[in-house]
Amino acid sequence: MLRTFVIGDIHGCYNSLESLLEKIEVADGDYLVFLGDYIDRGPDSEKVISRIIEIKSRHPRVITLMGNHEWMFLRYLEGSDRDNFLQAGGKPTLVSYGIDPEDEEINAADYIPDDHLNFLYNLLPYYEDPNYIYVHAGLQPGKHLSQQHPDWCLWARDQFIYTKYDFGKQVIFGHTTCKRPLVHPNKIGIDTGAVYGGELTCLVLPEELFVSVPGIKKTFTAKVREFFS
């Protein structure tokens, strides 16, 4: 049986990613979907992106989605929203690429390898297969998938989290941190706060099996959500 492995927000937690990959067995015919937010806050963003690029080079069915942190990083590299990127956890990302985050004169894009830039610019806003929809943050209720605004795909929170709208398929998403996977009839959330001392989680479909490994070793202090009623 072919399966889909979906990995939530990594946020520079390279060691957690490696541990998770060791626990799952992705066959050649399986799909591997990354939900975005590969970078920021954690210490090893450059290594995370290098690892995913390497996986994509040898596995035929890897899907990589855009997260809001990749979007902010690209804006920063293009010369926009410097403060927003740095305040949202961008400093460790720059350091991982050998960039001094305090140097306002530096052209950071010169430090980013071409294959990393190509990776970032080709991330998808969402992905759909016959049974599920995959997106970083969420979808706008009542809108066809083709009409979804990027702001919803990258930034959606409560209006998506609380909706009981039937999107036609279960929506698999990250972005909103929960202590454990969020499972509702219309959605499954798998950002379990690896960078905050929680876990990095993979959802295995169609079994709906969750595989998790420890994130960065620190107190879980994020503003996590509880949506299990």
Average pLDDT over residues 21-46: 96
**CATH superfamily to which 4-214 belongs:** Metallo-dependent phosphatases (3.60.21.10)
Residue 227 has pLDDT above 60, yes or no: no
- Classify the C-alpha dihedral 221-13-158-211 as positive or negative: negative
Residue 228 confidence class, pLDDT cut points 50, 70, 90: very low
In this prediction the pTM is 0.94
pLDDT digits (tens, 9 = 90+) for 105-145: 889 999 999 999 999 999 999 999 999 999 999 999 999 99
According to the 3-state scheme, what is the secondary structure of 82-148? HHHHHHHHHHHHHHHCCCCCCCCCCCHHHHCCHHHHHHHHCCECEEECCCEEEECCCCCCCCCHHHC
Residue 39 confidence class, pLDDT cut points 50, 70, 90: very high
Question: Where is average pLDDT lowest: 134-143, 161-170, 211-220?
Answer: 211-220
The answer to whether the beta carbons of residues 198 and 8 sit under 8 Å apart is no
Tell me 40's DSSP state. S
Residue 221 has pLDDT above 90, yes or no: no
Residue 62 has pLDDT above 80, yes or no: yes
Per-residue confidence (pLDDT) for residue 223, from 0 to 100? 53
Tokens of 27: 């066959």
The answer to whether the beta carbons of residues 147 and 154 sit under 8 Å apart is no
| Residue type for position 43 | P
- Give the strands of the sheet with 209-214, arranged side by side: 62-64, 31-34, 4-7, 199-205, 209-214
Residue of 227 and 153 predicted with greater confidence? 153
Per-residue confidence (pLDDT) for residue 187, from 0 to 100? 98
User: What is the overall mean pLDDT for the chain?
Assistant: 94
Q: What are the domain boundaries of the chain?
A: 4-214
SS3 of residue 193 by DSSP: strand
Cβ neighbours of 36 (radius 10 Å): 30
Cβ neighbours of 144 (radius 10 Å): 10
The answer to whether the beta carbons of residues 138 and 171 sit under 8 Å apart is yes
CA dihedral (158, 140, 117, 188) in degrees, to 10, reads: 60
Tokens of 190: 């798998």
Average pLDDT over residues 185-214: 97
